[in-house]
């Protein structure tokens, strides 16, 4: 059975009529498996991650910087927010309710398509971001040409085309409340081989095979080739990039491997949960990296979210202009205080009662 005949696009062309392989038996809707604890976790953590991500995403859109790295971060943000909607919020709600694919087939079918496309699109973005980092530290990197202005436009168009293909023209992921995870097999009694998604398998294997060497190359050049630096700024920058690379690579590789393995072999329940968590945090760790490791985005987000008066009150002088103004203000206050003390000191020697009158 081809991917196209079992794809969301084919369903749209057939007046939302699902393929025979996706039609559920009538008794399947009677099976409800509530998972309130883990479902609540996915729902709450998904909402929190999206609230943390949105300010960073808005800052990137409003930024005038249109370097390749920023463009990749923006489109990655779109994919991450869509993925978090599926792998966290929708997963949490359906887990709490205990409902699976057969309870809301069309909704789950298209939500799974969006989740599928967003995952594959985010994988490509993460690989390209790793390449961009490699180009920044080594201008002679073999694939540096893809970040040239005119070539990069084709790259961005290819990412959108890849997302469109993965979302609408491949078999979607389908939710199963019993395992709190998304599978290609709807678990309605048909042969699982009918639902294997080969493009997804190729994508995940390439993610693990390509991204790991890229991040190793990046870490090697930062740690060994540049050697020890007496600059504290350079030391912190290298440390932040290495930590971000390791975290992002780990979550993507774990999610990629587990989801491929689940598609072809039975696995324990705890491995399935780890795979779902890895998918969630492969998207969520990006926004946490922005807040903890990217000072430019963090400061811009705080300036956007809080008024100047609030930031001054709590010493959140984000931005060089405000920091300089704050330092000048403190110097003026210290200078004025010194002058007042000097005057009061001289006054106390002449007329001590002027000081005593305020007690």
Between 341 and 61, name the one with better pLDDT. Answer: 61
Q: Exposed, middle or buried: residue 21 (CB in 10 Å: 0-12, 13-18, 19+)?
A: middle
Asked which of 161-175, 212-226, 286-300 is least confident by mean pLDDT, the reply is: 212-226
Average pLDDT, the chain: 81
Asked if pLDDT for residue 45 goes beyond 50, the answer is yes
Between 152 and 306, name the one with better pLDDT. Answer: 152
> Under a CB-based contact definition with an 8 Å cutoff, are residues 210 and 127 in contact?
yes
pTM of the model: 0.82
**Structural domain contains residue 51:** yes
Residue 78 belongs to domain spanning? 24-293
pLDDT value for 55: 93
pLDDT value for 341: 39
Asked if pLDDT for residue 353 goes beyond 70, the answer is no
- Residues 251-266 have pLDDT tens digits of 888 888 888 888 778 8
What domain count does the chain have?
Answer: 1
Rounded mean pLDDT of 118-132?
A: 90
Asked if pLDDT for residue 309 goes beyond 90, the answer is no
How is residue 181 annotated by DSSP?
E
pLDDT value for 227: 52
pLDDT value for 88: 95
Alpha helix (H) residue ranges in the chain:
8-13, 36-62, 68-84, 91-97, 105-137, 149-168, 198-220, 232-264, 269-293, 295-305, 308-313, 320-350, 353-356
**Structural domain contains residue 266:** yes
The residues that bridge with 175 in the sheet, in sequence order, are 182
pLDDT value for 242: 67
Asked which of 62-66, 98-102, 346-350 is least confident by mean pLDDT, the reply is: 346-350
The CATH number for 278's domain is: 1.20.1070.10
Rounded mean pLDDT of 282-291?
A: 88
Asked if pLDDT for residue 358 goes beyond 50, the answer is no
**Structural domain contains residue 124:** yes
Specify the length of the chain in residues.
Answer: 359
**Structural domain contains residue 32:** yes
Of 59, 64, 214, nearest in space to 128 by CA? 214
**Structural domain contains residue 70:** yes
Between 353 and 305, name the one with better pLDDT. Answer: 305
The residues that bridge with 193 in the sheet, in sequence order, are none
**Structural domain contains residue 317:** no
pLDDT value for 215: 79
Sign of the Cα pseudo-torsion (256, 18, 84, 126, in order): positive
Rounded mean pLDDT of 164-176?
A: 94
**Structural domain contains residue 13:** no
Between 202 and 149, name the one with better pLDDT. Answer: 202
Confidence class of residue 41 from pLDDT cuts 50, 70 and 90? very high
Asked if pLDDT for residue 233 goes beyond 60, the answer is no
**Structural domain contains residue 143:** yes
């Amino acid at each position: 059975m081809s991917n196209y005949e079992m794809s969301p696009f084919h369903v749209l062309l057939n007046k939302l009529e699902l393929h025979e392989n996706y039609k559920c038996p009538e008794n399947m809707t009677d099976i409800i498996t509530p998972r309130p604890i883990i479902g609540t976790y996915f729902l709450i953590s998904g909402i929190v991650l999206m609230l943390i991500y949105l300010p960073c995403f808005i800052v990137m859109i409003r930024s005038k910087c249109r370097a390749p790295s920023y463009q990749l971060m923006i489109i990655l943000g779109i994919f991450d927010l869509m993925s978090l909607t599926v792998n966290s919020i929708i997963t949490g709600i359906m887990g709490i309710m205990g409902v699976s694919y057969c309870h809301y087939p069309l909704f789950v079918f298209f939500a799974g398509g969006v989740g599928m496309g967003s995952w594959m699109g985010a994988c490509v973005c993460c690989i390209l971001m790793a390449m961009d980092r490699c180009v920044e530290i080594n201008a002679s990197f073999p694939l540096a040409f893809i970040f040239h202005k005119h070539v990069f436009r084709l790259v961005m168009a290819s990412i959108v085309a890849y997302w469109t293909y993965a979302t609408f023209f491949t078999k979607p992921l389908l939710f199963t409340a019993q395992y709190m995870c998304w599978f290609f097999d709807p678990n309605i009694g048909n042969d699982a081989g009918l639902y294997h998604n080969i493009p997804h398998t190729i994508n995940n294997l390439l993610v693990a095979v390509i991204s790991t060497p890229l991040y190793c190359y990046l870490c090697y050049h930062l740690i060994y080739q540049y050697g020890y630096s007496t600059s504290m700024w350079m030391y912190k920058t290298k440390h932040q990039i290495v930590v971000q690379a390791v975290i992002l690579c780990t979550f993507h590789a774990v999610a990629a491997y587990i989801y491929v393995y689940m598609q072809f072999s039975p696995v324990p329940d705890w491995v399935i949960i780890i795979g779902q968590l890895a998918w969630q945090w492969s998207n969520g760790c990006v926004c946490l990296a922005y807040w903890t490791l990217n000072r430019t985005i963090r400061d811009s987000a705080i300036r956007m979210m809080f008024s100047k008066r609030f930031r001054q009150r709590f010493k959140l002088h984000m931005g060089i202009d405000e920091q300089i103004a704050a330092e000048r203000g403190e110097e003026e206050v210290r200078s004025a205080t010194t002058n007042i003390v000097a005057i009061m000191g001289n006054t106390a020697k002449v007329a001590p009662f002027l000081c005593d009158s305020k007690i």
